[in-house]
Chains A and B, each alone.
Chain A
Amino acid sequence: MSFLTPLYLLAGLAVLAPILAHLVRKRPRDVIDFSSILFLEPSARRLTSRSRIEHWLLLFLRSLILLALAFAFARPYLKNLVQQTASLDPGKDRVLLIDASASMRRPGVWEQAISKSKEYLSQSGQADSLAVYLLTDRLEPIVSIEQARQAPGQSQTLAIQALDALSPTWFASDIGKGLLQALELLEEESLETEQGPLVRSAQIAIASDFQRGNSLESLGSIQWPSDIPVIPLVCKPKSPGNASLTILSNADQADQADRDSTEDTVRVAVRNSIDAPTDRFRLQWLDSNGLAFDSTKTEVYVPAGEQQIISLTRPLELDPSVPLVLELQGDEQPFDNREYLYRGKKSLARALCIDSRMRESKDSLWYFATRVPVSQPQLEVQWEQKDPNDLLLEEGQSPPRWVVASSDLSLPCAERIKPWIEQGLHVLWVLDRPLETRNPPTADQQPADAALILKSWFDEDSLAISEAESNRYYLLQEIDMNHPVFSPFADPKYNNFTKIRFWHHRNIQGLNPESWRVLAKFDDGQAALLQRPIGKGMVTLLTSGWQPIESQLALSSKFVPILNSLFELGSPRPEQDDYHCGDAIPNSLIQQGWKSTNHRFDAPGIYSLDASRKTASVAPIESAVLIKEPTDAIAVNLPRSECLTDPIELEEFSRFGIPIDTRNIAQIDQERTSRANPLAEQLEASQRGWWWMLLFVLLFAGFESVLTALGSRSRTIPSTSG
């Protein structure tokens, strides 16, 4: 029998306390009155042999309780068991996360992280398995837990060697997510070894600058296991303070006029950290190669811990499509001092409204259609109103982005746009006129029957169009709120369509429900808005007009959103304007030929599809036949969270119940060597001798209480004073 903490055995001397308590008689607390003390002889205050015999069992029990407690605190364990199981020492799973985010590029930080990591790794035990992961916004294994487990003896050398090859990235870091992933990995691995006799303990160390940009909120989603401590290896930069630069996006400015006026103006946010030694900085425009355009510099004064917004004017002589770099000077931490700007060229697109010019303006389709603003930040849309006959003359022109056709659409015209539709054009065909009131045919053309047009587009003979009865107004029903056209109205606040009345509409018979998607119906059950794809394009059919003679649709507040949605079906907005390091390359760009080795932007800079201008590892694949204009260049900047370099208080981890071991490595090491035998400690923990001792203490205490209660009950007598 050996003891892990034998000094606690001295606590066994406390057994003297109950013995003394039994020997020393207390001055009686109660005083009784008596008629006369004539016959009472005073007693000496000492223990009589009789009372000692009365309480010997209690004394024994109380002494036993104290001895058992002292014994439990001394942590006994059986040595022979230790020797037997010495070869089964399971070691410890140590997972080292090295923060490789952009903020680790600050002078001195990365070197410190590597040296601290090496120090940590070198202090591990022989049986410990050492896994090393690179922590950015995800975990990348350098030496995975599985690898470390397979060769526990070599994992230390393996890990230390691997450290030298590492370098910081330009990505953001997310310590919360990283910790969760590390925990998941540990748990996955431990499941596999569950059959083993001993469960390995684990530990996670993080070498990081613990900058505030790290989000810890995700840690709130789980209850962190208390037996996995987190050891922070805090790395500090050589010099304090950091100023950062962010170009604010102006894509949110909806107003066309505002956008035009701010075309040459860029709003910049300059943030200074709390511990910054300087507060005066300069801003200068550079070209994409890092050369200054001129010597103009803008002075900025930003007090420590504050942020300043400045409006800068682009170098006027330059084309807006030229990529620019804005540099912040005067800051000692250069990693976040450059911001890349590329607004790109605004592409032009045509939207055609095929309608006859001969009608009264308000009765015509184009009157309302051309008033709908369908332009997007990077796409200027120009409406053109065409007569169905004119269109035939436009050979060789580029296809329009969108076509809105009225009942005047002629068969030749429909055949003319069919190839465009098959290549991806979206057509909205509005049957806005009763069949019998259509324009008389021109000299050289027969009036095209709508059914014939449909037949030419879809090759279906069964389709027939007739005029619905107009003895009452119609309302929309069975609206498909899941469709992008109507999804903005899905909220109960907006989904009231009862104010839009339709005076006339056309019935389409013979619809094949498998090929046509009906988005809305009239209350007589006839389709109101329906769609069918042709090739890559789409034909949308509205069986009534939006003009006031047909319906109240154009006068409704829902008209513009519906038309915009229909336009965006064919010309979706770009997924995002700002790109940051670590972002995945969006699908739209991949379709245009962008690719990367790890499918995301690796470093800040201007990325271009043009092979001669591209930087970093993004390279285009061969140019395919594209319908849309390709995105020719992209500015990728540093993640904004990396600019927040103020350190996190380590107490924030305890807020999420994570046991943080804030002792430095030397202290941990000292404690480790002060313990005679770490193996014995582990064996003691597995034997749980103290646990049994505590159980005995509880049993004895219960027995003692019962005895005391019984004793006091038997001795209770009535009051003796009258």
Chain B
Amino acid sequence: MALENRTDSQTNQASAWIDLKTLMAVRNLQWRAQKVVDGFQTGLHRSPKHGFSVEFSEYRPYSLGDDPKTIDWKLYARSDRYYQKRFEDETNRRCYLVIDQSKSMQYGSIDYTKYEYARTLIATLGLFLLRQRDAVGAVTFDQRVTDWLTARFRTGQFQRILSMLSKPCAGQATDLIAPLEQIAQLVQHRSLIVIVSDLMVWPDALKAPLAFLRARRHEVVLLRVLDPMELRFHHEKPVLVRDVESGEERFVDPVEVADSYQRNFQKHRSELSDILTPLGIPCVDFQTTDPMELVLSNFLSMREAVGSL
């Protein structure tokens, strides 16, 4: 599945959503997640996305050989036809929210960092899914998995996720390979794995671990968080740029590298797309200035695209 971009209609909705700056200024993560989800769910009834809930129950015409106990007799009484009803255990999902805690996520050219944004996003998604009665787990990683919370649907699961996200991150470099392999081994049941990262790695390295996850029948969704500066590098004058992860310094003339930066970035994105599309993994880029509701809305679209979820 190809990388997706926001549509104009979605952007237009942004004016109705909660102001991101104000939201991020609040320290309480739970409050942030609740406000986003509340606002989002309020609007959901008027939204064209209506009906894509996990609680959607499916009716199928009865055919010979099916268990007669699955026949909905009430429906039969109304319509005089036999319909089979799907049961709840098939609609409840396990979902793992995976967040990148590497040093590059600590970067931010605006008031908050990419990690802060990603944290809010994870909390929002977690709350949203939990309210849909899905089992939700969480994983943090940098070079390896640093924290693990098994997907459950039970009281206090959201608080556990929050406390996990509140821990300070001491990550250095980003290494997606080892953590993904670890996750593939740890997650036994078929699950939806949402990975929030900036994906500042060479795309080739991602191929093997993601393919491994897919082979384990997990559904994988990549939410790529990017700083506005990363999308369009600019600076007033020539400057020495230091990589926050490796500490390597590079002299850069912003005027001169502006084009090549865009070129390299697009190239990286297309390489990423080349790898993810065959694997059927959707990946969406978000700027840290994008409203949470937009991300949530995109997430639901992607899940619909994934289909079987």
Contacts and interface: CB of A to CB of B under 8 A. Distances in A.
Nearest to A26: B238
Interface in B236-260: 236-246, 248-253, 255-257, 260
B219 interface: no
A43 B233 contact: no
B171 interface: no
Nearest to B104: A35
A41 interface: yes
Contact of A43 (B107, B198, B227, B251): B251
16 contacts: A27-B251, A28-B239, A31-B242, A32-B235, A32-B240, A36-B243, A37-B243, A39-B233, A39-B260, A40-B257, A43-B238, A48-B253, A717-B235, A717-B236, A720-B109, A722-B109
A48 B255 contact: yes
Given A43-B256, A48-B253, 4 more contacts: A28-B251, A31-B239, A37-B248, A40-B257
Interface in A19-47: 25, 27-28, 30-43, 45
Given A39-B264, A721-B109, A28 B229 contact: no
A715 interface: yes
Contact of B107 (A30, A39, A722): A722
A30 B113 contact: no
A708 to B, nearest CB: 14
B294 interface: no
B236 to A, nearest CB: 5
Interface in B247-291: 248-253, 255-257, 260-261, 264-265, 268
A50 interface: yes
A40 B240 CA distance: 11
B44 interface: no
A34 B243 contact: yes
Given A50-B255, A722-B108, A32 B239 contact: yes
Contacts of B242: 31-34
B110 interface: yes
Contacts of B107: 33-35, 722
Interface in B91-110: 104-105, 107-110
B114 A715 contact: no
Nearest to A45: B251
A25 to B, nearest CB: 7
Nearest to A46: B253
Contacts of A36: 104, 198, 200, 230, 243-245
Contacts of A39: 233, 260-261, 264-265, 268
Contacts of B265: 39
Contact of B113 (A32, A717, A722): A722
A30 B239 contact: yes
A34 to B, nearest CB: 5
Interface of A: 25, 27-28, 30-43, 45, 48, 50-51, 715-717, 720-722
A482 B245 CA distance: 103
Contact of B260 (A27, A41, A50): A41
4 closest cross-chain pairs (CB), A and B:
A722-B108, A35-B107, A43-B253, A39-B264
Contacts of B244: 33-36
A479 to B, nearest CB: 93
B193 to A, nearest CB: 24
Contacts of A722: 107-113, 227
Contact of B114 (A34, A35, A43): A35
Interface of B: 104-105, 107-114, 198, 200, 227, 229-230, 233, 235-246, 248-253, 255-257, 260-261, 264-265, 268
Contact of A42 (B227, B236, B250, B268): B250
A28 B200 CA distance: 26
Contacts of A38: 200, 264, 268
Contacts of A34: 107, 229, 233, 241-244
Contacts of B268: 38-39
Nearest to B110: A722
Contact of A32 (B108, B114, B241, B255): B241
B270 to A, nearest CB: 13
A41 B114 CA distance: 23
A132 B243 CA distance: 86
A42 B107 CA distance: 21
Contacts of B240: 27-28, 30-32
Nearest to B102: A35
B118 to A, nearest CB: 13
Nearest to A50: B255
A50 B252 CA distance: 15
Contacts of B236: 715-717
A27 B253 CA distance: 11
B250 A37 contact: yes
A43 B243 CA distance: 16
Nearest to B107: A35
Contacts of A31: 239-242, 249
Contacts of A50: 255
A3 B238 CA distance: 44
A722 B239 CA distance: 16
Contacts of B109: 720-722
Nearest to B111: A722
Given A40-B233, A40-B257, A43-B256, A35 B198 contact: yes
Contacts of B105: 35
Contacts of B200: 35-36, 38
A44 to B, nearest CB: 8
Contacts of B252: 40-43
A25 B238 contact: yes
Contact of B241 (A27, A40, A51, A717): A40
A23 to B, nearest CB: 14
A76 B114 CA distance: 66
Contacts of B230: 35-36
A42 B239 CA distance: 11
A30 B252 CA distance: 12
B40 to A, nearest CB: 27
Nearest to A51: B255
Contacts of A37: 241, 243, 246, 248, 250
A31 B243 CA distance: 11
Contacts of B233: 34, 39-40
A48 B256 contact: yes
A35 B248 CA distance: 11
Given A35-B107, A35-B198, A720-B109, A43 B257 contact: yes
Contacts of B113: 722
Contact of A720 (B112, B235, B249, B251): B235
A342 B58 CA distance: 153
Contacts of A35: 104-105, 107, 114, 198, 200, 227, 230, 243-245
A365 to B, nearest CB: 112
Nearest to B265: A39
Contacts of B238: 25, 28, 43, 45
Nearest to B260: A41
A662 to B, nearest CB: 56
Nearest to B200: A36
Q: With a 10 A CB-CB cut-off, give which of B109, B249, B257 has the most chain A CB atoms.
A: B109
Contacts of B229: 34, 720
A22 B113 CA distance: 37
